[in-house]
């Protein structure tokens, strides 16, 4: 009897929300952002099976070529194909974002749930420790890690992931506090369910939407951070394709070959815009309260 009481409200509420979401039309932000994100993912996947040339291959052709039939986006100062580097750079960008957001999610979400379900003093202690970490941005952490371990893609991913943990912890705690005051959680406690079971069965499913939206927004932040770190020489090293590295190498040719900076810059800007649009659209679609606003 107690199992039915504690499980029914959550299941019914979840089913009603799912039905409401299916009945609402997808908003333009979600469609446009999701479409661009899928295109970027497709480019990254294509680079695993096909590229016009080897990414770092020096071609027997003229440097600084503008886009033409043979080289769709031209060649850089080292006579490498720019389109090939854009394809492989998309792979690097998405990989860094996935790892960074994955680290932040795996660490930040449990911290947020722990802070919401702990007694007052313990929850405050956890969040104050989280606020201390919030004072260290990704660039500063990357500089510190690079001084200790050297600049690399791995260091950039870890630094961005650690710097993003506080955002996930705060948003998870905020959603979990609302869930903890609900009737079905009170019923679950009265039935003798353990805190771990309540967190897994009731809290985590109800804050999953918030976590997904935060992940999409954090992905955009990770793209910008990776590009900035590569530009500063603290991220993807020389010899590997990266949009930030391409910008760094093109800064000396802004007058003679501006397309070498415009192309990777446009790729970074479009990717950040796509993930932000996708996150905003996903937030509006997942939250029924925003439908009438």
Retrieve residue 89's tokens: 């750079």
Model confidence over 204-247: pLDDT tens digits?
Answer: 999 998 999 999 999 999 999 889 888 887 788 877 889 999 99
Mean pLDDT over the full length of the chain: 85
Does residue 54 sit within a domain?
no
Domain harbouring 252, CATH code = 1.10.3720.10
Asked whether residue 268 carries a pLDDT value surpassing 50, the answer given is yes
Retrieve residue 129's tokens: 């420790």
Does residue 231 sit within a domain?
yes
Burial class (CB in 10 A: 0-12, 13-18, 19+), 109: buried
Point out the least confidently predicted range of 32-46, 95-109, 247-261: 247-261
Does residue 6 sit within a domain?
no
Mention every residue, 6+ apart, whose C-beta is less than 8 A from residue 85: 55, 76, 241, 246, 264
Q: What is the CA radius of gyration of the chain?
A: 23
Percent of the chain residues topping a pLDDT of 70: 89
DSSP 8-class letter at 202:
I
Across 23-32, 102-111, 202-211, which has the greatest mean pLDDT? 102-111
**124, containing H or E segment:** helix 120-134
> Do residues 60 and 78 make contact, with C-beta atoms less than 8 angstroms apart?
no
**Mean pLDDT score, 17-22:** 50
Confidence at residue 10, expressed as pLDDT on a 0 to 100 scale: 41
> Do residues 281 and 30 make contact, with C-beta atoms less than 8 angstroms apart?
yes
SS3 135: coil
Does residue 155 sit within a domain?
yes
Retrieve residue 240's tokens: 């590997």
Identify the CA nearest to 86 among candidates 75, 70, 100.
75
Does residue 15 sit within a domain?
no
Burial class (CB in 10 A: 0-12, 13-18, 19+), 79: middle
Asked whether residue 31 carries a pLDDT value surpassing 70, the answer given is yes
Rounded Cα gap, residues 169 and 68, in angstroms: 49
Rounded Cα gap, residues 36 and 261, in angstroms: 21
Q: Which residues pair with 232 in a beta bridge?
A: none
Total of domains in the chain: 1
Asked whether residue 293 carries a pLDDT value surpassing 70, the answer given is no
Query: What is the total residue count of the chain?
Result: 293
Retrieve residue 154's tokens: 């791995």
Confidence at residue 185, expressed as pLDDT on a 0 to 100 scale: 86
**pLDDT, greater one: 292 or 147:** 147
Confidence at residue 126, expressed as pLDDT on a 0 to 100 scale: 85
Does residue 8 sit within a domain?
no
Q: Residue 119 is part of which domain span?
A: 28-44+74-290
Does residue 18 sit within a domain?
no
Task: Name the packing angle between helices 138-149 and 153-180 (round to 10°).
Answer: 140
Does residue 50 sit within a domain?
no
pLDDT band, residue 166 (cuts 50/70/90)? very high
């Amino acid at each position: 009897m107690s199992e039915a009481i504690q499980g029914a409200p959550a299941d019914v509420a979840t089913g009603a929300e799912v039905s409401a979401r299916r009945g609402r039309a997808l908003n333009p932000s979600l469609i446009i952002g999701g479409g661009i994100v899928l295109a970027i993912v497709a480019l990254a996947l294509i680079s695993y099976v096909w590229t016009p040339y080897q990414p770092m291959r020096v071609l027997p052709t003229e440097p600084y070529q503008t886009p033409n039939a043979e080289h769709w986006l031209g060649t850089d100062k080292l006579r490498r194909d720019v389109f090939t580097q854009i394809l492989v750079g998309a792979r690097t960008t998405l990989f860094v974002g996935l790892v960074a957001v994955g680290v932040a999610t795996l660490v930040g979400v449990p911290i947020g749930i722990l802070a919401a379900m702990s007694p007052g003093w313990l929850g405050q202690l956890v969040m104050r420790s989280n606020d201390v970490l919030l004072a260290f941005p990704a660039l500063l952490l990357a500089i510190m890690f690079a001084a200790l371990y050297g600049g690399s893609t791995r260091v950039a991913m870890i630094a961005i992931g650690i710097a993003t943990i506080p955002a996930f912890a705060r948003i998870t705690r905020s959603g979990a506090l609302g869930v903890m005051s609900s009737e079905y959680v009170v019923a679950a406690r009265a039935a003798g369910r353990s805190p771990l079971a309540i967190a897994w069965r009731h809290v985590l499913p109800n804050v999953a939407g918030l976590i997904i939206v935060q992940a999409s927004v954090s992905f955009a932040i990770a793209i910008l951070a990776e590009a900035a770190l590569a530009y500063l020489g603290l991220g993807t090293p020389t010899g590997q394709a990266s949009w930030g590295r391409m910008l760094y190498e093109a800064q000396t040719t802004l007058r003679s070959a501006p397309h070498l900076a415009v192309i990777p810059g446009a790729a970074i800007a479009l990717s950040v815009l796509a993930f932000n649009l996708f996150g905003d659209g996903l937030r509006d679609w997942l939250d029924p309260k925003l439908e009438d606003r």
